[in-house]
Amino acid sequence: MFTASQSRSRTTGVLLTVGIVALTLTTASIHFSLGGLLFLLNAAGYATAAVAIVVAAWAPHPLIARFSWLPRVGLIGYTLVTIVGYLVMGPYFTLGFIAKGVEVVLIGLLVADILRVYGSFGGLLSAARDSVFNPSGDTSLNA
């Protein structure tokens, strides 16, 4: 049985995940609509990231749960590279700025989700380190 706190946290998690996936697919759709190889590859990258976010959020396998931080961090990095690439290369037009606005909000939701799950960026770093260097979960190895 869930407590009220667990229920709120679960609801928050679902809402954040839905928002992240919706914004990721929105920016994928925008890039797909522009055509051209670079935009189509960017759209494919965002669509793949959306699938990874869903799998990390709902797949019950222990290996997937251990690395659930990776799609969040990867999507933040991918989105930042997309924003910087746009600012450096252009072309500057209204839809491009709308896409960048969507991507900034996407990063905000990802940061909120990271803080919800790991409590802090230090918690995220600990989870990432432990998933790679301490897969058994034995904390005595950290001493």
The DSSP element (H or E) to which 141 belongs, if any, is none
Tokens of 65: 């749960």
pTM for this structure?
A: 0.88
DSSP string, 27-90: HHHHHHHH-SHHHHHHHHHHHHHHHHHHHHHH---HHHHHTTHHHHHHHHHHHHHHHHHHHHH-
Residues 97-129 as b or e (16 or more Cβ within 10 Å = b)? eebbebbeebbebbeebbeebbeeeeebebbee
pLDDT digits (tens, 9 = 90+) for 30-75: 999 999 999 999 999 999 999 999 999 998 899 999 999 999 999 9
pLDDT of residue 137: 61
**Confidence bin at 4 (pLDDT 50/70/90):** low
Helices (H) and strands (E) in the chain, counts: 6, 0
Considering the chain, what percentage of its residues have pLDDT values greater than 90? 80
